[in-house]
Amino acid sequence: MKNISLALSFSLLQVACSQHTSNPQEDVNPVIKLGNLEACKSYSGLPKGWLESETSGMVSIQGGSFNIGNNHAYPEEKSISNSQRKVDNFYIDATEVTNAQFQSFVDATGYVTEAEKQGEAAVFIQPDQTVNDLGWWKLEKGISWKYPWGKQAKRKILPNEPVRLATLKDAIAYADWLGREIPTEEQWEYAAKSFTKEEDVAAEHQGKHVNANVWQGNFPYQNEVQDGFPDVAPVGCFEANPYGLYDMIGNIWEYTRSPFSGNHDDHMGNHAQIKTEFSNIANNYTIKGGSYLCADNYCARYRASARQSQEANLAISHVGFRTIKNKNAVNQK
């Protein structure tokens, strides 16, 4: 992450105000009716028909072409020579995978996450005095998806919060259990941009208008909590995008299966290779969407085109995931 001027921040936010391209799929009926505090706080964390349907809790996305990246933002987002990409039809989770969904996976399989095996994970600790860049991250013992604040903490996870502190390997294991995959960066960004295929899409949080869970104030020292959440929020507390997808911007970063290699190139991730040769391939993968730690004065990556590198085997407190299923892999009954 890098410091960014307010001038660039405002220019990125202006991009978010671009008009949507008309599309016959617009104004879809959401598969999960969330989008406000009352609904998200009362949500069980399990979509209707959970484990009864292979696409339970997923939104059907019609494939098409779009321009990946943003040539007016950070260097790693640029795609000068190969910007137009095409994706096929697919399904994608309407929300980030919740603790309740991940718990059902653990209950069914006995799966133990990498953080639980390693006995530690990376957590954000808000500093009370000036620290060096990234000095707010600490490796803490006993931290895992079950205990993001430690085993002795009074605060416990909620079933409707996104599961965090899972590595990419953990996420793939969950997706495999459901017969799904982790999205490529192309699929994720296409879904996040929804009908605005040519432009970026960003959180709006100037003044009192906040439409995503991001940091308000001087990061990392002052969090004004204008959005009502000092850190992670339950899924779906903010309005869905035009596809009916919640929290594509903000709340937590989300894994993709695309290796991170600087700016955009042709290698967007091979699911089979990741599963069979996990220890022999790139360790840094692309995460998308920004998180509750992204602020105007630092990061400013609460945008659909924003991308960042994440170590595949490091469990960290502001990263989670959602899954996809290619439509040609769905059983036609």
pLDDT digits (tens, 9 = 90+) for 218-236: 999 999 998 999 999 999 9
Of all residues in the chain, what percent carry a pLDDT higher than 90? 68
The CATH code of the domain at 6-329 is 3.90.1580.10
**What's the mean pLDDT in 182-192?**
97
Q: How far is CA 315 from the centre of its chain?
A: 14
Band of pLDDT at residue 256, cut at 50, 70 and 90: very high
pLDDT tens column, 56-100: 999 999 999 999 988 888 889 988 778 889 999 999 999 999 999
pLDDT tens column, 12-37: 433 333 333 334 444 456 799 999 99
pLDDT at 280: 44
Q: What's the rounded Cα separation, in Å, for the pair 181 and 250?
A: 22
Q: Choose among 326, 305, 332: nearest CA to 69.
A: 305
With a cut of 80, say whether residue 267 has pLDDT above it.
no
CB 251 within 8 A of CB 96: yes
pLDDT at 199: 65
With a cut of 60, say whether residue 271 has pLDDT above it.
no
Q: How far is CA 68 from the centre of its chain?
A: 17
Q: What's the rounded Cα separation, in Å, for the pair 133 and 136?
A: 8
Q: What's the rounded Cα separation, in Å, for the pair 162 and 152?
A: 21
pLDDT tens column, 93-102: 999 999 999 9
Conformational region of residue 247, where left means phi above 0, alpha means psi within -120 to 50, and beta covers everything else: left
Would you kindly state where each structural domain of the chain is located, as residue ranges? 6-329
pLDDT tens column, 283-292: 899 999 999 9
Q: What's the rounded Cα separation, in Å, for the pair 289 and 150?
A: 26
With a cut of 80, say whether residue 318 has pLDDT above it.
yes
Q: What's the rounded Cα separation, in Å, for the pair 308 and 287?
A: 5
With a cut of 90, say whether residue 331 has pLDDT above it.
no
With a cut of 70, say whether residue 41 has pLDDT above it.
yes
